[in-house]
Structure 1
Amino acid sequence: MTARMTLSPAGVAELELVLAGGLGATAYASEGDGGRLRATEPVESGAVELLDQEGTPLATVEVDGGTSSGEWLVGSVSQLRPFGHQLHRERRIGAQTSRVERAVVVLGDLPGEEDPRWESLSDRPLVLLDTGHHAEALSRDVRHALASGHDVRVLPAPDPALRSAEEWRDAVAAAARALVADEIEVWDTERAVGDGLVILLTGLSGSGKSTIAKLLAERLGEVDDRTVTLLDGDEVRLILSSKLGFSREDRLMNVRRIGWVAALIAEHGGIAVCAPIAPYAEMRAEMRERAENVGRFMLVHVSTPLEVCEARDRKGLYAKARAGEIPQFTGISDPYEEPTDADLAIDASVVSPEDAVDQIVAALPR
């Protein structure tokens, strides 16, 4: 049976650069040049199928030897289908038919028109980076550069999770030299973060997070000019995730979908209040990363003790879980990984919902 591994959005971009020859040899490598991917579980010698987060096969890596979890996959890569920039002509890697001698790579947003670097740009193309986020900002920069008469290339950004800031910058420059121009000048600009905000309330079933989330959304609607959207865990499961179960993989996908919608709201300057159980540190970290790429993020741990949540159980879910009628029930037969990075912890067994909202509003990132 072929092993499968799911890539993050940044991992998909990394794969696309590898296949285009933008990161050295067309292989995942453990040292030197080359795209990189860590094995998330032990892999035996043979083909490993790489999937996007919706489960679509993108490519295979032919692994030469066994690989332990956490080690780099090493082997040649074969593409299975077009994806990413290859599907969008206006953003395709190497959209123009020929290489150029010199180009400018912009690491963040385009600088303002008053920036002196524009005077030295001349006819060199601008290479802009698609990080998988900031879609509006990227489209704005592309339109601005084209309207100003400049040639534009768009490259997916290498995965920053695999590199230090300096290594990431070097990888960007190497990809641009491989795919666009022999000589690269780098404009090291900041990528502005918008005013949007994602608030994630996590806690056990019955902890009170849904009640707090609803009151919080109402309060923010009264005191904040931004549009507020409530994404309650139970309601999202009825619509976005109706076909998902409660396995670890399905739980991850459910929270991933909530995080994607929440980040989209934040990218457009709104506030998303989310209240899934979100029991795993992995899923919460992914939501934080996605949100902080476009705005701000706040993690609230509604830390009501298990015995209190169980005593409050109006639906009888805990009793059914104790009796073995509900498998993989968080806190009973499936773990809840308590956050170690919460911005605020509230025990709703000793704090009223109204006071909890007061605490959250007072602690909002400004």
Structure 2
Amino acid sequence: MLTKRSVAGFSLFELLIVLSFLSGMLMFSIQLSTSKQQNARAQLFVTELNDLKNAVYAASGYVKHEITPADLIAEDLYFGELYSPWGEPYRIEYTDLGIYVLGYAKTQNLANRLVKQLSAAEYSEGWVKLFVHQTEPKIDDSIYLHREFEPDRPYLNQMNTDLDMSGNNIFSVGDISADKAELTQVIAATALLSHLESSSATVDSLSANNIASSSATVSAVYTDLLSVSELLVAELFTETLSVNAPLVRVQNLQVSQLQGSRLTTEELSVANQLVVTGSLQTATAQFHHLSANEVIAQDASFQQLAAQQLTSESIFANSLSANAITASQLNVSGSFQVSELIANTIFASDFVTATSSLVAVQKVAAKVESLWLQCTYDGGCR
């Protein structure tokens, strides 16, 4: 009977083995499908939160009241969804420290993973908070130090003494001119200068939420720590700009024209946007890590650009010329557009055109070669 059963069909033990194998394959397929689904949702979350942040930043230039994601969709500034891939609505939060866009994360592990993929993001009480920019400070200039200009008594317009603001604001300073400026520590919530000119400025520590100046001309700037939420300068000319600090963080950097011989720093992190409307020229630019959501330049020229990691959402350039570009990793998640690209060697997994790709052509060529060899072997082709 046992022999007959083993020949005619499966025994109970064999059937259990087959069912166990099939159930294991099914569980593996379900886990793989779930993992792919979670990865797709996480990537969609990162993309939509970045798009929402850029929309809020664009709207803040002309909309002064608080806005919602629905308002941004109505203004054709945001084209994503109102709800995250996990069903919770996106939020925009206005605080004294700045504006944030928020998306809910289901678990701590998921939040940590999302924060790593977002620039200037943090996790708090289940929400991933992405910093947009610093809100405009509400200033009552009547409570700050004033020096009225006296055209008839110019000696009253000169001050040769130490100035200790005790961490308060330096507001509406018309003109500062000095042959040499040495400052141990400058701490101010707001510093508004019409004109700043100095042949040499040495600062051990400079910390300010907002520094604005219509014109800044400095021959040399040396600082150990530069931490600024927003730096707006119409023109900045410097022969040597040397930042010795291992870390420079700027939330928003906008410079109409930047000219310098050398910019050296171990890490440059621009959390929001780096825009150069004029020209960015440097003989040597070396960064261990360069991260920006958007880089726009009319003309970018480098003798050498070396980076361990270069990450950007989008890079647009009318002309990009470089003698050497060396990077361990180059990630462009959005689009990389160049009118003309000249390179000695290009390494890529595939080249995609409007009608086909290089890998597809190689596959077709390999198939044709295989058919030709088989035809030659059979004697039908010569």
TM-score, normalisation: structure 2: 0.24
Which structure's CA Rg is the greater one? 2
Decide which structure has greater strand share.
2
Point out which structure has higher relative CO (alpha carbons under 8 A, 6+ apart): 1
